[in-house]
């Protein structure tokens, strides 16, 4: 009888506890949550020729190369479905920025299924950016190829994002995202006022082969929100941005080679500016813990309404060496040189802030650093 009474009491307690858990006052089940991140600091020694022949200018500093910390997790909802979340924040390890602000990087919540794919809502890298980030041998350093590639807008992370990432179908996957450009419903003409942004990418990976094609378009609007005309991006008075790129890499034994070809069109009223960018890279593993690498990026001359703007190109050449001290820690050194034609003004940058002299024709950098992931 005693055992029977205990079972009845347990059943009654469970019946009262279940609605409380379903109401969200307490977690209903186990959640796999982890803290992760990366710290990447370097000494960057930059030399630029001064604007208008003012002489060389040096800029030596410690850089926090997109150091970050995050928390992520998932909950098994049954039937192959999981809830997923992530909150990732930029860490200013050099002490010169605003410190750590919660949710500045990929921050989202969503649902994931091994059979159906993943849907997330929040702030996220665009599929256009994701498609070729793994091809950049100098990613998240001052020699990052986004000094030229993407025109500082396309290879980026947007807020107000709804994104879908497909499952892997025999090495093939795809991703799609849209940005809700306005959260203001009180507007006169929806079609004219709101901005519209779409980003698409298809990716194939099998063995040592990787290939991708990506497309992105941003149409600016006047309503308050993401991509309002003249706000939200560095370039004012743009009406539409469009970009398409092809990329790929091949790895065999100790060698890896990669390339990206990008076509960009910027529309500002009746003016359309086009240019093509090319990135090629290679790496050779000296051992399981060290490699040498090199990259070359070209920004082609701009074409304005079908007419070539002479002397408007730029190039960036980088060489480097990585040495792993463990599976999570490495030291590295690199040299990168940027050269502008007279009508081009690309700059060496770090964390989105210029570290070379604005208007300088040439700039170079020697960087040594240490990176640790956790």
Instruction: Give the count of beta carbons closer than 10 Å to the beta carbon of residue 360.
Output: 23
Instruction: Give the count of beta carbons closer than 10 Å to the beta carbon of residue 42.
Output: 27
Q: What's the whole-model pTM score? A: 0.84
- Of the ranges 151-155, 190-194, 250-254, 306-310, the best mean pLDDT one: 250-254
Q: 185 pLDDT band (50/70/90 cuts)?
A: low
7: pLDDT strictly greater than 70? no
Distance CA 5, CA 12 (A): 11
Mean pLDDT score of the chain: 85
141-145, 147-151, 166-170, 299-303, range with the lowest pLDDT: 147-151
152 and 374 in contact (C-beta within 8 Å)?
Answer: no
Six token digits for residue 183:
């959260």
Q: What are the C-alpha distances in Å from 62 to residues 46, 152, 337, 358?
A: 11, 22, 19, 20
Distance CA 87, CA 49 (A): 41
Of 235, 246, 160, give the one whose Cα is nearest residue 196: 160
Sign of the torsion formed by the C-alpha atoms of 171, 256, 322 and 98: negative
Distance CA 348, CA 218 (A): 25
Segment 32-83, tens digit of pLDDT: 999 999 999 999 999 988 665 567 888 899 999 999 999 999 999 999 999 9
Six token digits for residue 30:
């186990």
């Amino acid at each position: 009888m005693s055992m029977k009474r205990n079972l009845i009491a347990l059943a009654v307690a469970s019946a009262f506890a279940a609605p409380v858990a379903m109401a969200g006052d307490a977690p209903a089940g186990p959640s796999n949550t982890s803290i992760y991140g990366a710290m990447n600091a370097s000494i960057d020694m930059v030399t630029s020729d001064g604007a208008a022949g003012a002489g060389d200018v040096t800029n030596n500093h410690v850089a926090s190369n997109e150091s970050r910390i995050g928390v992520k997790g998932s909950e098994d909802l049954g039937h192959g479905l999981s809830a997923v979340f992530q909150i990732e924040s930029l860490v200013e390890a050099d002490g010169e920025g605003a410190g750590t602000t919660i949710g500045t990087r990929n921050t989202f919540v969503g649902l994931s299924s091994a059979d159906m794919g993943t849907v997330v809502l929040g702030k996220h890298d665009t599929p256009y950016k994701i498609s070729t980030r793994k091809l950049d041998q100098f990613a998240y350093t001052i020699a990052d190829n986004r000094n030229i590639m993407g025109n500082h807008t396309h290879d980026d992370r947007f807020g107000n994002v709804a994104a879908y990432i497909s499952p892997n179908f025999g090495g093939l996957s795809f991703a799609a995202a849209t940005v809700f450009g306005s959260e203001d419903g009180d507007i006169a003409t929806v079609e004219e006022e709101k901005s519209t942004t779409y980003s698409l990418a298809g990716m194939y990976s099998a063995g040592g082969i990787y290939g991708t094609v990506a497309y992105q378009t941003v149409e600016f609007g006047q309503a308050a929100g993401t991509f309002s005309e003249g706000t939200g991006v560095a370039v004012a008075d743009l009406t539409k941005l469009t970009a398409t790129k092809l990329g790929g890499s091949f790895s065999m034994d100790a060698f890896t080679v990669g390339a990206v070809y990008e076509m960009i069109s910027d529309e500002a009223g009746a003016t359309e500016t086009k240019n093509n960018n090319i990135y090629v890279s290679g790496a050779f593993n000296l051992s399981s813990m060290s490699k040498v690498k090199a990259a070359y990026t070209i920004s082609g001359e701009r074409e304005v309404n079908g007419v070539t703007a002479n002397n408007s190109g730029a190039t960036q050449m980088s060489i480097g060496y990585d040495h792993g001290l463990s599976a999570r820690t490495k030291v590295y050194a690199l040299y990168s040189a940027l050269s502008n034609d007279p009508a081009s003004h690309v700059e060496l940058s770090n964390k989105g802030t210029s570290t070379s002299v604005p208007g300088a024709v040439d700039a170079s950098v020697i960087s040594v650093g240490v990176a640790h992931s956790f």
